[in-house]
């Protein structure tokens, strides 16, 4: 057994934090069945991971264990520096508490799944808006690099795009059938040539109806948009007449459109 170090040297090597002015507050006592000793967690400013562990030889004595630095002020740890039974007892208690906390979190998430998903969607939407350009740049660079270097990824990506295109076309045809299934001007009922005329509320460039908020609202909630079906010929003619000023922009008067376009 190594010789005992001088008192002043042992105090310098003891890696326990300096006591603060705030008194330590005791928390619940935990008993470890494996080691047969008592472990008490202390709480104070700067002492988040500090525990008071009962001595194995003398029950009236106790030692301080810092779980963050894995240190103890018992003689065994002070002389050898190896992990003592007090640190093992604290780690055992800490692992039990962590396991209980994980189980509680899992149970809470299962009972409040919709609420937690709502919080996460709100947070991620805000985070992506703040870093929109960074996300867009990273996604393009990552996709470009992997698209050219990974044939399997390229094949799966093209298949996913093709399936999404077919699904979008199927949903759009279902919308056309529910919305009348024929042109409002001439009565054409071929779904492949029917298009949706919708107002340009944002004053920007016209986009396809399947990419608008109105179509997404119809898909999710069944809300019918402020639009009507037209065949490709009459739809193109309508936009040409709007450009020339013969028909007011975003005209919703169907009788007027029928008289002008026919």
Instruction: Assess if residue 157 is contained within a domain.
Output: yes
Give residue 233's pLDDT band: very low, low, confident or very high (50, 70, 90).
confident
- CA-nearest of 41, 39, 36 to 25 is 41
Instruction: Assess if residue 129 is contained within a domain.
Output: yes
pLDDT in the model for residue 188: 86
Instruction: Assess if residue 171 is contained within a domain.
Output: no
pLDDT in the model for residue 42: 73
pTM of the model: 0.42
Boundary (domain end) residue, out of 96, 111, 126: 111
Clarify whether residues 123 and 88 are in a common domain. Answer: no
Residue 15 pLDDT exceeds 60: no
Domain carrying residue 135: 114-164
Average pLDDT over residues 85-91: 86
Percent of the chain whose pLDDT exceeds 70: 79
Clarify whether residues 245 and 199 are in a common domain. Answer: yes
Clarify whether residues 219 and 255 are in a common domain. Answer: yes
Helix extents (H) in the chain: 7-13, 75-80, 85-111, 113-130, 132-149, 151-178, 213-221, 232-244, 254-261
Residue 230 pLDDT exceeds 50: yes
Residue 2 pLDDT exceeds 90: no
Domain count, the chain: 3
Between residues 13 and 63, the one the model is more confident about: 63
Clarify whether residues 94 and 125 are in a common domain. Answer: no
Q: Write out pLDDT tens, residues 144-162.
A: 888 888 889 889 989 999 9
pLDDT in the model for residue 234: 86
Instruction: Assess if residue 172 is contained within a domain.
Output: no
Between residues 210 and 120, the one the model is more confident about: 120
Instruction: Assess if residue 124 is contained within a domain.
Output: yes
Q: Which residues are within 8 A (CB) of 245 and not within 5 positions of it... i.e. 6 or more apart? A: none
Clarify whether residues 157 and 187 are in a common domain. Answer: no
- CA-nearest of 174, 190, 180 to 229 is 180
From 20-29, 43-52, 165-174, 236-245, the region with the lowest mean pLDDT: 20-29
Clarify whether residues 139 and 235 are in a common domain. Answer: no
Instruction: Assess if residue 170 is contained within a domain.
Output: no
Clarify whether residues 225 and 244 are in a common domain. Answer: yes
For residues 123 and 237, give the distance between their C-alpha atoms in angstroms, rounded to a whole number.
45
Clarify whether residues 145 and 95 are in a common domain. Answer: no
């Amino acid at each position: 057994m190594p010789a005992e170090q001088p008192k002043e040297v042992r105090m310098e090597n003891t890696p326990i934090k300096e006591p603060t002015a705030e008194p330590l507050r005791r928390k619940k006592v935990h008993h470890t069945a494996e080691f047969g000793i008592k472990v008490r967690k202390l709480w104070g400013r700067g002492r988040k991971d500090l525990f008071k562990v009962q001595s194995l030889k003398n029950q009236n004595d106790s030692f301080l264990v810092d779980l963050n630095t894995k240190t103890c002020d018992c003689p065994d740890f002070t002389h050898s520096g190896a992990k003592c039974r007090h640190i093992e007892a604290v780690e055992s208690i800490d692992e039990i508490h962590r396991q209980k906390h994980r189980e509680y979190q899992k149970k809470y998430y299962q009972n409040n799944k919709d609420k937690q998903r709502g919080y996460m969607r709100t947070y991620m939407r805000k985070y992506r808006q703040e870093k929109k350009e960074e996300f867009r740049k990273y996604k393009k660079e990552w996709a470009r690099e992997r698209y050219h270097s990974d044939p399997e990824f390229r094949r799966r990506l093209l298949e996913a795009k093709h399936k999404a295109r077919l699904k979008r076309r199927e949903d759009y045809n279902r919308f056309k059938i529910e919305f009348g299934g024929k042109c409002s001007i001439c009565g054409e009922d071929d779904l492949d040539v029917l298009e949706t005329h919708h107002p340009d509320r944002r004053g920007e460039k016209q986009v396809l109806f399947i990419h608008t908020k109105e179509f997404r609202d119809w898909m999710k909630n069944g809300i019918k948009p402020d639009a009507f079906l037209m065949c490709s010929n009459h739809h193109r003619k309508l936009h040409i007449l709007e450009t020339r000023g013969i028909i007011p922009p975003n005209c919703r008067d169907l009788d007027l459109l029928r008289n002008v376009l026919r």
